[in-house]
Amino acid sequence: MRQRRLPAADLFSHGATQAEVARTLGVSHQAALVWYRRWQAGGAEALHGAGRACPPTSSTRSNRPCCRRRAHGYDTDLWTLARVAQVIQQQAGITHHAGTSGACCASWAEPRSVPPAAERNDEQIARWVAEDWP
């Protein structure tokens, strides 16, 4: 990450705008804005970094969320549908189009219970099943 931020300091010092830095370095406009503010406040030193990506914990490396994300070979924690499709392909050998991989993510979520409709009338349903349905 430091290798991506340090060229921004050089660009800013030569008068580049945040949009130019974002375009040149292939980062979001938000990242360029944050970097610009840090550069203004503390110069190039402010862009050196904030330390370790994964803080030390007593848990194993695989249980740390940021290390789990990087375990799939990505250098950021941004999960796109295309990345989800790639991980599914790598892990399960199933090919999904990026547009349909979102359904897989939805199936991983905890199911939510839905309360019955306020208009529901169990007596009318039972009558309909007994009389009208047949």
Of the chain, the percentage scoring pLDDT greater than 90 comes to: 13
Domain boundaries, the chain: 2-47, 61-104
Supply the DSSP symbol for 111.
P
Question: How far is 40 from 13, CA to CA, in rounded Å?
Answer: 10
Higher pLDDT, 1 or 45: 45
- Tens of pLDDT, residue by residue over 3-34, are 778 888 889 889 999 899 889 888 889 988 98
At residue 130, does pLDDT exceed 90?
yes
- pLDDT score for 83: 80
Question: How far is 35 from 40, CA to CA, in rounded Å?
Answer: 9
Name every residue whose Cβ is closer than 8 Å to that of residue 17 and which is 6 or more positions away in sequence: none
- pTM for this prediction: 0.38
At residue 80, does pLDDT exceed 70?
yes
Please provide the average confidence, as pLDDT, over all residues in the chain: 76
Supply the DSSP symbol for 47.
G
- pLDDT score for 131: 92
Of the candidates 3, 66, 9, 2, the residue with the CA atom closest to the CA atom of residue 32: 9
Q: How confident is the model at residue 95 (pLDDT cuts 50, 70, 90)?
A: confident
- Whose tokens are 């199933």? That residue is 94
